[in-house]
Amino acid sequence: MADRAFSLVPAGLAVAILLLLLGPLAALGLSFQGFTLSGAELAALRFTLLQAALSAVLALLLAVPVARALARRRFWGRGLLISTLGAPFLLPVIVAVLGLLAVFGRAGWVNSGLATLGLPEFSIYGLQGVVLAHVFFNMPLAVRMILQGWQAIPAERFRLAASLGFSPAATRRHLERPMLREVLPGAGLVIFVICLTSFAVALMLGGGPRATTIELAIYQALRFDFDLPTAARLALLQFALCAVAYLVATRISLPSGFGAGQGRLGGPPAPKGWRCVVDGVAIAAVALFLALPLFAVVLNGLPGLAALPASVWAAAGRSLLIALASTALSISAALILALAAARGKGWPALAATLPLAASSLVLGTGLFLILQPYFRPSSLALPVTMTINAALSLPFAFRILAPEARTLYADYQRLGSSLGMAGVAWLRWVVLPRLSRPLGFAAGLVAALSMGDLGVIALFAGEGEATLPLLVQRLMGAYRMGAAASAALLLVVLSFALFWGFDHWGRRYAVT
Q: What is the pLDDT of residues 249-259, one digit of tens each?
A: 666 654 444 44
On whether the CB atoms of residues 203 and 133 are closer than 8 A, the answer is: no
On whether the CB atoms of residues 198 and 49 are closer than 8 A, the answer is: no
Q: How far is the C-alpha of 240 from the C-alpha of 202, rounded, in Å?
A: 19
DSSP 120: P
Q: How far is the C-alpha of 430 from the C-alpha of 424, rounded, in Å?
A: 10
The predicted structure's pLDDT at residue 258: 43
On whether the CB atoms of residues 198 and 93 are closer than 8 A, the answer is: yes
DSSP 478: T
- Domains (ranges, CATH) in the chain? 1-30+307-512 (1.10.3720.10), 41-172+204-235+260-299 (1.10.3720.10)
On whether the CB atoms of residues 208 and 47 are closer than 8 A, the answer is: no
The predicted structure's pLDDT at residue 204: 85
List Cβ neighbours of 190 (8 Å cut-off, separation of 6 or more): 141, 145, 249
Return the sign of the alpha-carbon dihedral for residues 63, 64, 70, 71: positive
Give alpha helix (H) positions in 153-227. Answer: 155-163, 168-171, 177-196, 199-205, 214-223
CA angle 109, 133, 220 (to 5 degrees): 115
The predicted structure's pLDDT at residue 254: 45
* Phi-psi map region of 344: left, alpha, beta (phi>0 left; psi -120 to 50 alpha): left
The predicted structure's pLDDT at residue 384: 92
The predicted structure's pLDDT at residue 147: 83
Q: What share of the chain is helix, strand, coil (3-state, %, to 5)?
A: 80, 0, 20
CA angle 52, 56, 58 (to 5 degrees): 115
The predicted structure's pLDDT at residue 354: 83
CA angle 262, 344, 418 (to 5 degrees): 95
The predicted structure's pLDDT at residue 494: 93
Give the HSE-up count for residue 302: Cα atoms under 13 Å, Cβ half-sphere: 5
Q: What dihedral angle (degrees, nearest 10) is formed by the CA atoms of 259, 57, 285, 180?
A: 10
The predicted structure's pLDDT at residue 257: 45
Q: How far is the C-alpha of 149 from the C-alpha of 184, rounded, in Å?
A: 9
The predicted structure's pLDDT at residue 425: 65
The per-residue pLDDT for range 23-43, each reduced to its tens digit, is: 888 888 877 666 677 788 888
Distances (CA, A) of 52 to 105, 306, 316, 444: 22, 39, 31, 28
Distances (CA, A) of 192 to 49, 195, 289, 428, 429: 9, 5, 21, 40, 42
Radius of gyration of the chain (CA): 24
Q: How far is the C-alpha of 383 from the C-alpha of 280, rounded, in Å?
A: 48
On whether the CB atoms of residues 445 and 495 are closer than 8 A, the answer is: no
The predicted structure's pLDDT at residue 172: 64
On whether the CB atoms of residues 455 and 199 are closer than 8 A, the answer is: yes
Q: Is 480 exposed, middle or buried (0-12, 13-18, 19+ CB in 10 A)?
A: middle
DSSP-assigned states of every residue in 392-458: HHHHHHHHHHHHHHHHHHHHHHHHHHHTT--HHHHIIIIIHHHTHHHHHHHHHHHHHHHHT--SHHH
On whether the CB atoms of residues 241 and 214 are closer than 8 A, the answer is: yes
DSSP-assigned states of every residue in 341-391: HHTT-SHHHHHHHGGGGS-HHHHHHHHHHHHTTTS-GGGGHHHHHHHHHHH
Q: What is the pLDDT along the chain (512 residues), one digit of tens a residue?
A: 444 545 677 888 888 888 888 888 888 887 766 667 778 888 888 999 999 999 999 999 999 888 888 877 777 877 777 777 777 778 888 888 888 998 998 888 888 888 888 888 888 888 898 999 999 989 988 888 888 777 766 666 666 666 666 666 666 666 777 777 778 887 888 888 888 888 888 888 876 667 788 888 888 888 887 888 888 888 888 888 888 877 776 666 544 444 444 444 455 656 676 777 887 888 888 888 888 888 988 898 888 887 888 889 999 999 999 999 999 999 999 988 988 888 877 788 888 888 887 888 888 888 888 888 888 888 888 999 999 999 989 988 888 888 888 887 776 666 656 655 666 666 666 677 777 888 888 899 899 989 988 888 888 888 788 899 999 988 888 888 888 889 999 999 999 999 989 988 887 766 65
CA angle 398, 61, 141 (to 5 degrees): 20
Q: How far is the C-alpha of 139 from the C-alpha of 72, rounded, in Å?
A: 19
Q: How far is the C-alpha of 149 from the C-alpha of 63, rounded, in Å?
A: 12
The predicted structure's pLDDT at residue 318: 93
On whether the CB atoms of residues 254 and 185 are closer than 8 A, the answer is: yes
- The predicted model scores a pTM of 0.84
